[in-house]
């Protein structure tokens, strides 16, 4: 990660973080979220799916509620207590109008100044392909910010009581291969590790090592490494 990226703009007080699955926000982004909530900023989460297809050998009807509970505990570990699940089907999320409408509704509900999206690009970097769900939800999030601010797009949302919200100042795309800004997370890696460790069933299915060992490795890797500056990078629009 480049050490000369400028800091993320701080002219905001409410953020809405949107991701495809439980655990997506816990791969380093949660260190920045921990720093924000500790500073008194309000952060809410929206997950497009319940992650029900994410645990090998565990059927969706069992995995869905389990992963939802893990995500709520994980969010609480970094000071986030408003977590919503949209119920799109894990693994086959379609980035069409239904998803855009659902995300626009949540943006209008939360009325954030900052929207945190996940990587919508084809890759995470050379040789690392990004999943279809991540690409669909990331791109739809970018589009939904505009939809949320336009009263003539999805007017049915106004009938539901969700007035247009043109107040998003910035979109910060996490895990982007094209970062433009960074957040100093010195002192917040332990909170991020504790947060990711709440995804116990998910991590245990991936790797036989202790969950906290896995979580520590991931958070250090995604926040600058063992010896590097503790930073979380974002691609910022606006």
CATH code, 100: 3.40.50.10320
Contact of 214 with 84, CB cutoff 8 Å: no
Share of the chain above pLDDT 70, in %: 99
Is the pLDDT score of 11 beyond 60?
A: yes
Contact of 221 with 1, CB cutoff 8 Å: no
101 domain-assigned: yes
**CA–CA dist 12, 113 (Å, integer):** 5
DSSP 30-73: HHHHHHHHHTT-EEEEEESS--TT-STTS-HHHHHHHHHHHHHH
DSSP 188: -
Q: Which of 83, 103, 64 is nearest to 26 (CA)?
A: 83
Is the pLDDT score of 80 beyond 70?
A: yes
159 domain-assigned: yes
6 domain-assigned: no
Within 10 angstroms of residue 124's Cβ, the number of other Cβ atoms is 15
Within 8 A by CB and 6+ apart from 113, the residues are: 11, 12, 13, 14, 15, 167, 168, 169, 170
Q: Tell me, what's the pLDDT at 82?
A: 98
Written as six digits, the tokens of 52 are 């029900």
Is the pLDDT score of 3 beyond 70?
A: no
Contact of 86 with 47, CB cutoff 8 Å: yes
4 domain-assigned: no
1 domain-assigned: no
Query: Which domain covers residue 110, as residue numbers?
Result: 14-237
Q: Tell me, what's the pLDDT at 84?
A: 98
Share of the chain above pLDDT 90, in %: 96
**How many degrees, rounded to 5, is the angle at CA 67 between CA 64 and CA 69?**
110
Q: Tell me, what's the pLDDT at 228?
A: 81
Is the pLDDT score of 50 beyond 70?
A: yes
Comparing 1 with 60, the larger pLDDT belongs to 60
pLDDT per residue over 117-167, tens digit each?
999 999 999 999 999 999 999 999 999 999 999 999 999 999 999 999 999
Label residue 56 exposed, middle or buried (CB < 10 Å: 0-12, 13-18, 19+). Answer: exposed
For the chain, what is the mean pLDDT? Answer: 97
8 domain-assigned: no
**CA–CA dist 85, 73 (Å, integer):** 14
2 domain-assigned: no
Q: Tell me, what's the pLDDT at 4?
A: 87
State the first-to-last Cα distance of the chain, in angstroms, to the nearest integer: 22
Number of domains in the chain: 1
Q: Tell me, what's the pLDDT at 226?
A: 86
39 domain-assigned: yes
Site of tokens 């894990």: 90
**CA–CA dist 142, 173 (Å, integer):** 9
Q: Tell me, what's the pLDDT at 227?
A: 83
Q: Read off the pLDDT band of 22 (50, 70, 90).
A: very high
**CA–CA dist 50, 81 (Å, integer):** 17
Site of tokens 């990660």: 1
């Amino acid at each position: 990660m480049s050490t000369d990226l400028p800091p993320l703009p701080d002219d905001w007080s409410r953020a809405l973080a949107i991701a495809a699955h439980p655990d997506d926000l816990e791969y380093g982004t949660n260190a920045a979220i921990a720093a924000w909530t500790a500073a008194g900023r309000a952060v809410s989460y929206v997950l497009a799916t319940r992650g029900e297809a994410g645990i090998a050998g565990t059927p969706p009807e069992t995995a869905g509620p389990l992963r939802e509970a893990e995500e709520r505990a994980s969010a609480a570990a970094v000071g986030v207590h408003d977590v919503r699940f949209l119920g799109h089907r894990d693994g086959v999320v379609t980035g069409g109008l239904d998803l855009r409408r659902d995300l626009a509704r949540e943006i209008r509900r939360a009325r954030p100044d900052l929207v945190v999206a996940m990587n919508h690009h084809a890759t995470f970097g050379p040789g690392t392909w990004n999943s279809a769900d991540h690409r669909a939800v990331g791109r739809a999030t970018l589009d939904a910010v505009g939809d949320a601010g336009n009263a003539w797009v999805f007017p049915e949302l106004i009938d539901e009581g969700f007035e247009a919200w043109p107040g998003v100042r910035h979109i910060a795309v996490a895990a982007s291969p094209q970062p433009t800004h960074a957040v100093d997370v010195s002192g917040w890696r332990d909170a991020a590790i504790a947060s990711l460790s709440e995804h116990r069933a998910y991590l245990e299915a991936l790797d036989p090592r202790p969950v906290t060992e896995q979580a520590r490795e991931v958070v250090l890797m995604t926040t600058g490494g063992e010896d590097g500056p503790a930073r979380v990078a974002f691609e910022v629009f606006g």
